[in-house]
């Protein structure tokens, strides 16, 4: 029989739940299974309306359950490989469009991979080049081929390229010393895109 007094009703509910714990759990499981879409929609609406609370709650849970969080993350990634790949692809595309340092680093890495013809690198791209990305940009800005219109943001196709002063084709990739010299920053310079295409392997 329901009580008119809310507090009495809550107390009665607590007592009933304590005595009928398994029954209540089973009832909740059945209700959740029958109303999965309603629950998802309610969660989506709550998360959209309370992003800060949700983020804080998740961060607290991850901090208190690091191993469970890692396992849940690994499981989700294993079950959603296509989503993970697509997310990474979109993020990389966004970084390439907005972060000149990232764009330069990935382009150099791609070029290195081609130059190595599939062999594994023994050091990171920037270690091979012999400086940080920031130092490399500063080197380019001090080169005689750097033009007033060039900026870090317009690096890439349609703007300016990284050119090998002595072309890659002129070096012997099988010789470690020649490979290092080819990719050292002293052999790299900025060059207007079309001028670089016309230069080719000269």
pLDDT, tens digit, 9 for 90 and up, residues 100-132: 878 877 777 777 656 555 555 556 778 888 888
Task: Write down the mean pLDDT value for the chain.
Answer: 82
Name the nearest CA neighbour of 159 among 90, 104, 114.
Answer: 104
Q: Which is more confidently placed, 48 or 122?
A: 48
Q: Where are the alpha helices (DSSP H) in 99-144?
A: 100-116, 125-129, 133-142
Convert the pLDDT of each residue in 126-151 to its tens digit. Answer: 888 888 888 889 999 999 999 999 99
What is the per-residue pLDDT for 139? Answer: 93
What is the per-residue pLDDT for 158? Answer: 74
Contacts (Cβ under 8 Å, ≥6 apart) of 181: 171, 187
How many residues are given for the chain?
Answer: 202
- Give the bridge partners for 188, in sequence order: 164
What is the per-residue pLDDT for 140? Answer: 92
Contacts (Cβ under 8 Å, ≥6 apart) of 134: 101
Chain-centre distance of CA 104, in angstroms?
A: 16
- Average pLDDT of the segment spanning 69-97: 87
Q: How far apart are the first and last CA of the chain?
A: 93
Distance CA 116, CA 168 (A): 11
Q: Range with the lowest mean pLDDT among 12-21, 63-72, 139-148?
A: 12-21
Q: What percent of the chain has pLDDT over 90?
A: 11
What is the enclosing helix (H) or strand (E) of 54? helix 51-64
Q: Which is more confidently placed, 169 or 8?
A: 169
Distance CA 40, CA 44 (A): 6
Copy the structure tokens of residue 183. Answer: 């990719």
Angle at 53 (CA atoms; ends 49, 58), nearest 5 degrees: 120
What is the per-residue pLDDT for 121? Answer: 54
In this model, does residue 198 exceed pLDDT 60?
yes
């Amino acid at each position: 029989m329901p009580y008119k007094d809310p507090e009495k009703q809550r107390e009665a509910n607590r007592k009933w739940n304590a005595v009928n714990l398994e029954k209540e759990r089973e009832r909740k499981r059945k209700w959740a299974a029958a109303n999965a879409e309603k629950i998802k929609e309610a969660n989506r609406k709550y998360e959209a309306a309370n992003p800060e609370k949700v983020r804080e709650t998740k961060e607290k849970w991850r901090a208190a359950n690091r191993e469970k969080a890692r396992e849940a993350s690994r499981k989700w990634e294993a079950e959603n490989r296509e989503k993970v790949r697509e997310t990474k692809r979109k993020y990389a595309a966004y970084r390439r469009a907005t972060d000149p340092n990232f764009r330069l680093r990935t382009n150099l890495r791609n070029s290195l991979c081609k130059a190595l013809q599939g062999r594994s690198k023994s050091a990171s791209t920037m270690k091979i080049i012999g400086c940080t990305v920031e130092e490399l940009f500063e080197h380019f800005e001090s080169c005689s081929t750097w033009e007033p219109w060039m900026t870090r943001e317009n690096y890439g196709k349609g703007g300016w390229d990284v050119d090998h002063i002595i072309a890659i084709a002129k070096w012997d990739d099988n010789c470690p010393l020649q490979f290092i010299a080819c990719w050292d920053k002293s052999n790299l310079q900025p060059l207007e895109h079309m001028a670089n295409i016309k230069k080719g392997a000269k």
